[in-house]
Structure 1
Amino acid sequence: MRLSTNDASSKSQALVETILSKIDGLNKPRRNFIISIIVLYLSLRGRYTFKGMERYGTYCEKTYRLQFEKSFDFLQFNIELSKEHLGAHRIIAFDPSYLPKSGKHTPQLDKFWSGCLGKSVKGLEIGGLGVVGIDDHTAMPLEAIQTPGQKELKEKGQSLVDHYAQLIIERKEQLRQVSKYVVVDGYFSKISFIGPVCKQTDLEVVSKFRKDADLKYLYAGPREKGRGRPKKYNGKIKLKKIDKDQFQLLHEDQEVKIWGLICWAVRLKRKVNLAYVEFLDEGQPTGRYAVYFSTDLELDGQLIYAYYKARYQIEFLFRDAKQYTGLTHCQSRDEKKMHFHFNTSLTAVGVAKAAHYLDQDVELRNGFSLANVKTSYFNELILDLFLSNFEIDPELEKNKSALQRLLNFGKIAA
């Protein structure tokens, strides 16, 4: 016996079914499994292991193991999901995320940088691609790709940054369906990342410079007479005290002043569109500043700043997946199974957002709480178990209010 069709999980099921209908090459058993596993990731309590899935799900442990070995196009699934539920103004965000992992035999186990700990520690890392809706102020996942260890990178003749750039290049056609702007943090403001991405794709990069970046003003005056190459630069940009006669004031409010300039980035060996941001406190200078840039020389400086701020939304995806959908729980040592687990965990967060947050008008949206969504799904799972075993009719009028109270049991404010 099942609850009526207005229960919490039916929205996610219908949503996943709609997206899967647009993906070719899936047979019915595989389609049913994908629907089941995404809903299960939003319902399960405890560790996200195959045995735990058997306890709460509808398949046996062996079936989960076999299904996790098969490939699934999470990137295309999440692209379709984001295109349907986010506005047209979108950016692509990329950021690696550290995952703790013990043991000795897990593939690609190595030391990776942990932002929380502020140092490199033993574990795994995923390179997370996400899409951020600028008007929606939220992010949805695209794909998570496990980062190789140093041994494998050396065998390929790659550095870590080369690997990150290659991830973007290999997916350039799919990513272009979402946006032309890839936004990354200041770590990626290197020629080894920006050079290949801009040369081998039609994507543009938005990032941040260090405060001691080597930048030069471009010379725009008349050519001097005589022999020699024409003058290209007009001196070094002193970021602590910029020449505001050469910059253009693009925006000013009580919090920031944004100055724009096309300049030469020495380390990147290219022109960049600079957005120099002075931070204010109720309109008064604070002495703090930040330097953002884009490889798109036509992009408005205000948007460069807005895009970089919006990039941080991808961190909330990682946070929710680690806290609520078992991103760090996978105990498998098979790369295919780990890839499926990482992406299912993140995709479940995206589906929950689409079904229970982005389906509302912008004015009606409150904060998104995945904790509340998980509580609803778990309550529904247990309630279904009671209804079926005790043969209680959920459609009886006297039961409906009691069932609703049980479904909302344990929820917290968003």
Structure 2
Amino acid sequence: MSKRFLNWLILTIRTVALIPGKINFTRLSRYGGRTAKTFASNFKTSVDWMKVNTGIARENFGCGDDVAIAIDPSFISKSGRLTYGMGRFWSGVAQRVKRGLEIMAIGAISLSRHTCVMLGAIQSPDFRTLESEQNMLMLDWYIFLVRSKASELLSLTDILVADAFFSKYEFVNETVAMGFRFVGRLRADSYLRYPAIPDPATPRKRGRKKKYGEKVDFSNLDMSVFTSFIYEDSKGVRTQCHTAVVHSRALRRDIRIVVCPVENGGHLLYFSTDTDMRPEKIIGFYRTRFQIEFGIRDAKQFTGLQSQQTRDKDRLDFAFNLSFTALNVCKEVIRKDYPDLSLAQFKRLMFESYLASTIISTYGKSPHLKIIQKINHRLAQLAA
């Protein structure tokens, strides 16, 4: 990107970080010192957001087996009829299908730091457009998105985590073919089979050897196949879990599963396509996946993910990714300089500093340095 555009982008990220409430072109113009037309025209510029945010992720927690890629579709409220991508999508908050927009959020999660850096967002077309123009189902679209970003994501890590919706043969098979190790969750009543263990006492018969053993009965696990271990979460709660390599009929492959009991007497089934992955990491990665939900929530609350003043496809893409990048920058500044502040407190500090600088710059000639320092110190106290 050019130096002029880079300076404008830095100004825009800083402006997004200090604006309280709704963020749109009008308010960006009011706080950013540029016209709304300037912001609207620059929002048409193509930016490699994935590269920018991957750099932030590497600086934050590096790469390797401690890091995984998390994906999560998110519903974006939007009214009107002419906005690109308007359709009916599932809203997890409302627990029903609603009219609006949908983005596929991509993040990098760290198992040791228990945090997430948002890597980018890609908007989903509505169902009718996918079926009529591209002859695709929504799951096919999600596979296409992961494939389009696979090389960039694999440079960071080869572990991909998604919720139970994505634990389907088509998605898991395609992502494994791309080079990922998939971590997910299965239904509690999933059809799993033990590996076939030949009995030396049984006489040999003609025909093909038996490939699989009996169906896994979760109320009566075969402890000659399963191994028990104690899993301790981040809060220090210890749970006895069980793990084994079994065959999934739905996924048509051998997987490592982890059976975790829950309070109501049921169980949760976590799995990985990497049968050598440690069971503690399988549970840890899946539970840390929820950090991407917090990233989406914070972007909606603080950096304008859900308040876009545009209907254009390119401007919407720019706005969604700008929101995630601004969130990453805010969290990075907080981590380095204000570790005691929450995101809401940091936003308030940014806004009050902006007010103070506006008052000081309007004050006139020769402002008093000690008075300025007292104002800044007082604002820091108010934010805390």
Range of TM-score over shorter length: over 0.9
Name the counterpart of 2:111.
134
Name the counterpart of 1:16.
none
CA RMSD of aligned residues (A): 1.9
**Distance apart, 1:407 and its partner CA:** 4.4
Name the counterpart of 2:60.
85
Name the counterpart of 1:145.
122
Deviates more, 1:144-153 or 1:38-47: 38-47
Q: Residue 288 of structure 2: which of 289, 293, 310 is its match?
A: 310
Name the CA shift for 1:251/1:365 in 2 (closer, same or farther; >3 Å).
Answer: farther
Could you give the per-residue CA deviations for residues 39-93 of structure 1, whole angstroms, max 9, x where no partner exists?
A: 1110112421111111110211111011000110110000001100125421111
Name the CA shift for 1:252/1:345 in 2 (closer, same or farther; >3 Å).
Answer: closer
Q: Residue 142 of structure 2: which of 164, 170, 180 is its match?
A: 164
Name the CA shift for 1:392/1:322 in 2 (closer, same or farther; >3 Å).
Answer: farther
Q: TM-score, normalized by length of structure 1?
A: 0.86
- C-alpha separation in 2, matches of 1:311 and 1:391: 52
The residue identity in structure 2 corresponding to 1:267 is A
Deviates more, 1:311-320 or 1:162-171: 162-171
Whether the 8 Å contact between 2:360 and 2:372 is mirrored in structure 1 is: no
The residue identity in structure 2 corresponding to 1:384 is S
1:219-298 matched pairs, under 5 angstroms:
219-222=196-199, 225-252=204-231, 255-279=238-262, 287-298=265-276
Q: 1:67 and 2:46 equivalent?
A: no
SS at match of 1:346: helix
SS at match of 2:90: strand
Name the counterpart of 1:375.
348
**Distance apart, 1:222 and its partner CA:** 5.0
Name the counterpart of 1:388.
361
Q: Residue 180 of structure 1: which of 148, 158, 162 is its match?
A: 158
**Distance apart, 1:394 and its partner CA:** 6.4
**Distance apart, 1:319 and its partner CA:** 0.8
The residue identity in structure 2 corresponding to 1:137 is H
- C-alpha separation in 1, matches of 2:381 and 2:313: 38
The residue identity in structure 2 corresponding to 1:218 is P
**Distance apart, 1:398 and its partner CA:** 4.3
Whether the 8 Å contact between 2:356 and 2:375 is mirrored in structure 1 is: no
Whether the 8 Å contact between 1:273 and 1:297 is mirrored in structure 2 is: yes
Name the CA shift for 1:392/1:159 in 2 (closer, same or farther; >3 Å).
Answer: farther
Name the counterpart of 2:373.
400
Name the counterpart of 1:216.
193
Whether the 8 Å contact between 2:76 and 2:103 is mirrored in structure 1 is: yes
Could you give the per-residue CA deviations for residues 175-204 of structure 1, whole angstroms, max 9, x where no partner exists?
A: 0122111110011100121111111x1111
- C-alpha separation in 2, matches of 1:340 and 1:407: 32
Q: Residue 309 of structure 2: which of 320, 323, 331 is its match?
A: 331
Whether the 8 Å contact between 2:231 and 2:280 is mirrored in structure 1 is: no
The residue identity in structure 2 corresponding to 1:162 is D
| Aligned residue pairs, count | 375
Could you give the per-residue CA deviations for residues 102-147 of structure 1, whole angstroms, max 9, x where no partner exists?
A: 1111111111111111111101111000011211111110010001
**Distance apart, 1:351 and its partner CA:** 0.8
Deviates more, 1:119-128 or 1:373-382: 373-382
- C-alpha separation in 2, matches of 1:323 and 1:135: 26
SS at match of 2:221: coil
The residue identity in structure 1 corresponding to 2:246 is C
Where does structure 2 lack aligned partners over 5 or more consecutive residues?
Answer: none
The residue identity in structure 1 corresponding to 2:324 is L
Whether the 8 Å contact between 2:74 and 2:105 is mirrored in structure 1 is: yes
Where does structure 1 lack aligned partners over 5 or more consecutive residues?
Answer: 1-25, 281-285
Name the CA shift for 1:258/1:96 in 2 (closer, same or farther; >3 Å).
Answer: same
Q: Residue 8 of structure 2: which of 33, 36, 60 is its match?
A: 33
SS at match of 2:266: strand
Q: TM-score, normalized by length of structure 2?
A: 0.93
SS at match of 2:18: coil
Name the counterpart of 1:47.
22
Name the counterpart of 2:95.
118
